[in-house]
Amino acid sequence: MSLARAGRFYQATVGKKIVMAATGVILFGFVVAHMAGNLQIFLGPEKLNDYARSLRAMPALLWLARLTLAAAVALHMVAAVQLWAWNRAARPRGYARLTAVESSYASRTMLWSGPILAAFVVYHLMHFTFGNAHPDFNHELDVYHNVVTGFRQPPVAIAYMIAMAMLGLHLHHGAWSMFQSLGVGHPRFTPLLKRFASVSAVVLVAGNISIPLAVLAGWLR
């Protein structure tokens, strides 16, 4: 596809929705892989630290992944804001009384849960990747120590758990919308796809918050 055709495709509402869906697939895959890697903390310090070192052993691949994720996040957010602006422009006066009939709480919080998650990602990178959020507790080659020490601080652990709850809300609606935008939402499969979105959100939230909860409970030392 030429750049001109790609530009015309993106200018249409359907193009923006497909861009959001495609980048959503990338981000969803990363979240799943990231959680799977992090859960190795329950296998002990050596296992988690070996996993972290294996990622750093392939710097070119690591930076390719980082740049791909950064581009996906940027495109996802830009398309979301543009679609929101189009919806506002199409309904400039708004509703005299808004009644949520078919929309869920998750769908109505998509616009502001996204920026909150983006801010959390910045903090998460500063905490565990760059080590400048809590430099006194950060050991570059000891990821297990950094995680346990960081989550021993209740405000940090609570902030992470709140962010994961927001991630669950975002994914609950986002995964279903992703299927619809990619044309997978056939009525025959609708119940199954909705169930997949709900179960995925619950599993990802539970898996991610299990780590700070385990640290606070003293199960991880």
Please tell me which of 13-22, 31-40, 101-110, 186-195 the model is most confident about, judged by mean pLDDT.
Answer: 31-40
Query: For residues 85 and 138, what is the distance between their CA atoms, to the nearest angstrom?
Result: 41
Domain assignment present for 122: yes
As for how many domains the chain has, the answer is 1
Q: Residue 120 falls within a domain, yes or no? A: yes
Indicate if the pLDDT at residue 95 is higher than 70.
no
Does any domain span residue 164?
yes
pTM of the full structure: 0.82
Q: Supply the range of the domain harboring residue 30.
A: 3-216
User: Band of the pLDDT at 185, cuts 50, 70, 90?
Assistant: low
Q: What is the mean pLDDT of residues 194-209?
A: 92
**Is residue 221 in some structural domain?**
no
Query: What's 20's domain CATH number?
Result: 1.20.1300
Between helix 45-56 and helix 143-151 the angle, nearest 10°, is: 120
Q: Which of 73-82, 86-95, 138-147 has the highest mean pLDDT?
A: 73-82
Angle at 22 between CA 83 and CA 102, to 5 degrees: 50
pLDDT at residue 12, rounded to an integer: 83
Instruction: Express each pLDDT in 1-38 by its tens digit.
Output: 567 777 777 788 888 888 888 898 899 999 999 999 99
Q: What is the DSSP code string of the chain?
A: --HHHHHHHHHSHHHHHHHHHHHHHHHHHHHHHHHHHHGGGGG-HHHHHHHHHHHHT-HHHHHHHHHHHHHHHHHHHHHHHHHHHHHHHHSTT--SS---SS--HHHHTHHHHHHHHHHHHHHHIIIIIS--SSGGG--TT-HHHHHHHHHTSHHHHHHHHHHHHHHHHHHHHHHHHHHHHTT---TTTHHHHHHHHHHHHHHHHHHHHHHHHHHHTTS--
